[in-house]
Structure 1
Amino acid sequence: MKAILSEKYGTPDTLKLSEIAIPTPQPDQVLVKIHASSINFGNLVLLTGKPLPARFVFGLMKPKYPIPGGDMAGTVEAIGEKVTRFQVGDEVYGDLSSSGWSAFAEYVAVDEKSLAIKPRNLSFTEAAAVPMAGITALQAIRDKGMVRAGQEVLIHGASGGVGTFAVQIAKAFGAEVTAVVSTRNVDIVKSLGADHVIDYQKEDFGNYEHTYDVIIGVNGSQSISTYKRKLKENGKFIHVGGAENQMYQTMMLGSWLSKIGKKKFITFLQRANQQDLMVMKELIEEGQVKPVIDRTYFLSEIHEAFRYFEKGHSQGKVIITI
């Protein structure tokens, strides 16, 4: 089979399109023929080895996982003798970040707990956009933000992969949503249901007097002090992504601020979860959430796909078709 191999940290040019053996599923594994995958921030970390603390998870000197790629959507080709949830021919999707990655390939053998039946109203290409970004948004809003109907939620960086899902999921939970984006992305977040849009190229949301129950920081480089001013008395700031200095501020200064006041500052990393894949399936099939796809590349164009993703300006997801 064809697969993308990452043998050393570096630029997209270090990725190699190679021929390797099709994996054989273990008794508790499912062999999936992959039709599509997508690029997430975690893939960029696997590629570059940055930020450096991530190497304690992904490999100190070289990538621990030779085939990157976390999101996938495909068809079950074979099942191990202990597999009970799936049958040959099932159309599935999943997040492989907790089970060896390996989604940038034609086939993968993976634990059945990493998969769920894909939403019936999505193509494989669309379904591959959902797992990591969609579940990141779901867990940030539901589990960390504890967003309830009637609350006011601000999403900073609302036009990317996680942000587009966050807008829709917050709306599905009954929140009033404000999206912070650049000029070119105003229309797209409005189309996703954002109640208010702040164009950061024309105005600074930090200058607004309005405050929010929950702020989801998906992108940007605002200081913790700015977010603190924009939170209501018992508000929560959830750091999902953005500049490294913002991450470190949230981890260190934010932790201290959370202890001395009622406002909470949380650094968050999503966890692959089969049940949450099924929750996303329901939201999508009910029409409350849909993936937004910016560009699609073939597996052989993986270098160009990463170069585009690295720029940080994608509207929604960047997809790799296998």
Structure 2
Amino acid sequence: MKRIQYHQYGGPEVMRLEDFEPTPPSPGEVLVRVRAAAANPMDWGIRSGAMKMVTGRKFPRALGHDFAGVVEAVGEGVTRFTVGDEVLGGASIKASGAFAEMVLAAEKGLVRKPAELSFEEAAAIPTVGLTALQAVVKKGELRPGQSVFVNGCLGGVGRAAAQIALAHGASVGGSCRATATQDARDLGLDPIVGFDFDPTALVGRFDLVVDTAGTLPADAAKRMLKPGGRIVGIHPTPVNIAKSALPGPYHVLIARPVTEDLAEVARAAGRGELRVPVARAVPLSGAIAALTELERNGTPKGGKLIIAVE
């Protein structure tokens, strides 16, 4: 079997496509033959060593989190899946390993892939979908009929947050690049503003402000809220965590891999209520070059980089 791994923490130059021997699943684990995997910024954050307190110093380490594929084997005690089931989900942060021909994952980190989705579409969902759902519905406490503003409404999490809010009966506005206004309008958003917008025109209009880009000043967000409104940020920096602990409308989300939330996201995608665009798909043999380009240049834009595994 092949997978992308690295033998020391560092930049994209440490990635290697190498042989590995998949281990049989332990109790509660599922071995999945990967059909597609999706890149997320946290993948290179982990590889750079930003989470070494969690991931440790044992090498080689595998790369990649989000994937979709077919169950190859199940460990003792696994009850929700059998060999041949099509699934989507994520590997653990410590083990990772989705950029591979096979990956081990905990049963609780997987749900069934909706038949309506391709493997590429399904692989794009887990991280952005979970984060968006937990920001809007769980932490944001959204109710039908409320109004939501998504800062960064065409980013991965932002687009998912806007779609989830719309599906829950909210009216949604957002900010994006001026050249992408039509894309936001096509999602059903109104009003739509640029990233450097003046909040004066939006004072007191929203029950929930979700800052997915991490660029919205707190004072501006507060001015946009109706009485009793909430602000949710998805970047759990020390400053944001401290701000969230203070009295007031600001709350920071630390997204967690909750099985029920992943299942809800998958169902929404199957119904067509959630779509995460795929900007580019590359084979595993070309993944290192594509991942390097994405990390260094931010391309492709407008959707996910998918590694399609034959």
What are the within-5 Å matches in structure 2 for residues 140-289 of structure 1? 140-200=135-195, 204-211=197-204, 212-241=206-235, 247-256=237-246, 259=247, 263-289=248-274
Alpha-carbon offset, residue 161 of structure 1: 1.3
TM-score in terms of structure 2 length: 0.90
Count of aligned residue pairs for this structure pair: 306
Moved more, 69-78 or 290-299: 290-299
Match of 2:97 in 1: 102
Name stretches of at least 5 consecutive residues in structure 2 with no aligned partner. Answer: none
Q: Deviations 1:224-267 (Å, cap 9, x if unpaired)?
A: 222222222212111114xx9xx4442234433xx1xxx42112
Q: Structure 2: how far apart are the matches of 1:140 and 1:10?
A: 31
What is the identity percentage for the equivalent residue pairs of Structure 1 and Structure 2? 34
Cα RMSD, aligned residues only: 2.2
Q: Structure 2: how far apart are the matches of 1:254 and 1:79?
A: 40
Q: Structure 1: how far apart are the matches of 2:280 and 2:92?
A: 22
Q: Structure 2: how far apart are the matches of 1:65 and 1:144?
A: 37
Match of 2:303 in 1: 316
Alpha-carbon offset, residue 10 of structure 1: 2.2
Q: Structure 1: how far apart are the matches of 2:48 and 2:200?
A: 36
Q: Structure 1: how far apart are the matches of 2:221 and 2:44?
A: 26
1:56 aligns with 2:53: yes
Match of 1:25 in 2: 25
1:111 aligns with 2:106: yes
The answer to whether the 8 A contact 1:99-1:110 is kept is no
SS of the counterpart of 1:36?
strand
Counterparts in 2 of 1:160 and 1:306: CA distance versus 1, 3 Å:
farther
Q: Deviations 1:22-75 (Å, cap 9, x if unpaired)?
A: 22112432211001111113213112234xxx443334xx57881121101000
The answer to whether the 8 A contact 2:61-2:95 is kept is no
Aligned AA (1:12): P
SS of the counterpart of 1:304?
helix
Name stretches of at least 5 consecutive residues in structure 1 with no aligned partner. Answer: none
Q: Structure 1: how far apart are the matches of 2:39 and 2:125?
A: 11
SS of the counterpart of 2:61?
coil
The answer to whether the 8 A contact 2:38-2:65 is kept is yes
SS of the counterpart of 1:159?
coil
